[in-house]
Structure 1
């Protein structure tokens, strides 16, 4: 599976939705997806067993060094550092070939232990339970840890000191002043920063530019034209639309909810995030769900429910599937299987009606791919320094060159020529302007995310209708709202 994701203002900077610029308006901030397609296993129970307090301060046995101009965070120079990377759409080469060498150059006496995994929660839950967490974690993927539970249990290092530290490239600038506006807020929980969302990501409907060009098809802007296109694709013997039900239902509920925001306005998503009464049963959500249920019934394949994302994505590379919902990590993730000339392209979700409250150009975009430092690790200061190196121009540029995606550090992708897919998503983001939407609930309440995934498969593969879809997800949202043991977050 993959992760996710990006933002951008123009070719000279990493794609950054203009909406990110208002740090005070979370409704328009690039979302923190804590991952694309992440079916995180809620870890609250297990984490609670090992968390003794919410104190992020250095413990007595934690490594500390002397602060200096070159070592503003006070890292102990020979303290070991452990890094765990989610091995998904971006792989882990950027860590082994770029970020870890940068840290090693700054602290040559430090030993770095690296591990890549596609099952972060499986690997790390026992580590947290035993009180031996690693310093740096890229928490993403189908089995990511529950960010909300980690925050509530005091497992995440407060990153305020990192953001206020001098940047690697220009000590006169704080780290927070070198990133896209809003980046700190996107990784904050109730006002305190705990997560670095590093990668800029745009979501939409992906297709092959070659396939469309060869058949004279164009990306539609209205729902009527979209359905007509699906009919034409079907007539060619190609499955028009599909996603992987086995592990990527997130991709589909993301489409439904983005569409709902277009129909009813961005407050539709804000209300869902804030657990407002009846938020999931809003007319806009029902309309979007009904529209996509029709697509699932008439223009997809039931075989997709049992497949993983890479299997369905491969079918698209083989021209057996035309349109696939995802974020712009897709191009890099499929680089080994994409035939020459395929040319990934992104289209925004078509407008459902002429009275939609947001224009067709509206997209969901986010600063995504979450990284955290374990507050109870042996070397949290080294962990924060690792993130500081990631946020340097060299760290961001190296990441972009390896995975061909932009980060939240504008200087890291200045002048970089992105491949067709990411160039397309950058163009879509630029066209969206202020019309950028985001979601937070999946990073805050994993049980709600899990239910949304399950219900989305039920909807798209024909077992429930739109009314039942919103009813069942609303029921879980209501349960979470009433549960005093669950930490609540607001935007």
Structure 2
């Protein structure tokens, strides 16, 4: 759940993923042959062209990472498998597009890269190929399995009710991005404590600049501040209870003072006017544009920001990723950088090209593909790979550095748990000013017993 270690090192390691492996057993005519030992690496497999021409469809959520990596995968995979054509389908609305297709079993892709929440929904209901064995046993060209190549937290996040239905796609730090030149011109230093942040905010406001901006239409962008507070004020024991909840902890857990402290940080930002006026009406790209225009000094955001806004960044604009600093009364007096495991790649059970789809995902997990993902998107995948020699920006370097310099936080909820705020969208309620932190806590305490019952019934049904 919480880690402090090298997640992505400029010299050696990276986080991320998009990896898949082929299962053992009987295959189609175009399935690569087994070695005498019964094992076969992806590099060996890629040397054998397909005997039967076929087309695999790859659908993906086209958001901050764009489509350049998928175009590269298509080109390289087709070159390695001359009989295979990769047909790409990308859309910012792919999460919504695929839901009815998956439910009906019609017009489904052979490979899908979408939000990780669908893995937990589609996997247990039989809509995804179970590749637990492949994840744990299939060897990549470096001789390691996916399980051995990924971080422990990544492996935990991919397990659903004892099985693995997909592979992690990407990972990104989510902290506070600040305008470097604005800070330098005004002699401001990024704060090491929350009290220093409070002082900095007043200096920024005195200059007639908004300290922060966020997309009001997507309040989850502010969540890294709140969940960092949960760790800082509650410690690892509290987060263990939250992510691996037991029945006897309901509903008392949701009334814990840790929530008051953590949600109080967000409430403070609203009450003391830390955000640019009008933020509530903005979407993510609009808020990011206001930040790039210099109308706010800082923005809660992720490692995808630069790539998503690459066509709109003013010449000479410099930004840097930074962690969430702790308050003086925190239990964990360390700055925290949440790391999100963003999306997964899986194979719908309705695919008619499962073996080739597996090879595609396997190729997507190679060091060559991982490095290319970082180079093309400025972001990391959830596996360990060298980034030596890559042409990456200063912002990407800062995103890498925060994951190595500060305590990392990833919330991996056990299947029976009911999440951070079962009664209401805590961040939407607090940021809009409609609810206080205490109101949200009271709603969560009241809703928790019924939410717990519903979740356990759902698990039994699956």
TM-score between the two structures when normalised by the length of structure 2: 0.84
Asked if 1 retains the 8 angstrom alpha-carbon contact of 2:226 and 2:263, the reply is yes
CA displacement, residues 406-451 of structure 1 (integer Å, 9 cap, x when unaligned): 223433523325322221222222222xx3221134x969996896
> Runs of 4 or more off by more than 6 Å in structure 1?
60-64, 72-76, 443-447, 449-453
- Which is greater in Rg? 2
Q: List gaps (5 residues or longer) in structure 2.
A: 18-22, 35-39
Which residue of structure 2 aligns with residue 126 of structure 1?
100
Q: Take 2:296 and 2:403, find their aligned partners in 1: how far apart are those partners? A: 25
CA displacement, residues 253-307 of structure 1 (integer Å, 9 cap, x when unaligned): 2321121211111233332223442333321121111122111122114521121
Q: Take 2:96 and 2:421, find their aligned partners in 1: how far apart are those partners? A: 17
Q: Take 1:371 and 1:146, find their aligned partners in 2: how far apart are those partners? A: 10
Q: How far off its partner does 1:62 sit?
A: 9.0
Q: How far off its partner does 1:403 sit?
A: 0.8
CA displacement, residues 339-376 of structure 1 (integer Å, 9 cap, x when unaligned): 223222122112122x4222333221244332222123
Q: Take 2:153 and 2:403, find their aligned partners in 1: how far apart are those partners? A: 16
Which residue of structure 2 aligns with residue 19 of structure 1?
none
Q: Take 2:27 and 2:365, find their aligned partners in 1: how far apart are those partners? A: 28
Distance 1:338 1:254, change over 3 A: same
Q: How far off its partner does 1:100 sit?
A: 1.6
Asked if 1 retains the 8 angstrom alpha-carbon contact of 2:169 and 2:381, the reply is yes
Q: CA RMSD in A?
A: 3.3
Distance 1:178 1:356, change over 3 A: same
Which residue of structure 1 aligns with residue 293 of structure 2?
318
Which residue of structure 1 aligns with residue 235 of structure 2?
265
Q: Take 2:424 and 2:389, find their aligned partners in 1: how far apart are those partners? A: 38
Q: List gaps (5 residues or longer) in structure 1.
A: 1-5, 17-29, 33-56
Q: Take 1:285 and 1:456, find their aligned partners in 2: how far apart are those partners? A: 12
Q: How far off its partner does 1:127 sit?
A: 1.3
Which residue of structure 1 aligns with residue 430 of structure 2?
459
Which residue of structure 1 aligns with residue 369 of structure 2?
395
Q: How far off its partner does 1:229 sit?
A: 0.8
Asked if 1 retains the 8 angstrom alpha-carbon contact of 2:422 and 2:448, the reply is no
1:212 aligns with 2:209: no
CA displacement, residues 460-487 of structure 1 (integer Å, 9 cap, x when unaligned): 2222111111232444443331014322
Asked if 2 retains the 8 angstrom alpha-carbon contact of 1:65 and 1:75, the reply is yes
1:328 to 280, 303, 307: 303
Distance 1:409 1:260, change over 3 A: closer
Q: Secondary structure of 1:439's partner?
A: coil
Which residue of structure 1 aligns with residue 67 of structure 2?
92
Which residue of structure 2 aligns with residue 347 of structure 1?
322
Distance 1:93 1:84, change over 3 A: same
Q: Take 2:347 and 2:433, find their aligned partners in 1: how far apart are those partners? A: 42
Q: Take 1:225 and 1:127, find their aligned partners in 2: how far apart are those partners? A: 50
TM-score between the two structures when normalised by the length of structure 1: 0.79
Asked if 2 retains the 8 angstrom alpha-carbon contact of 1:7 and 1:201, the reply is no
Q: Secondary structure of 1:265's partner?
A: helix
Moved more, 384-393 or 313-322: 384-393
Q: Take 2:239 and 2:418, find their aligned partners in 1: how far apart are those partners? A: 17
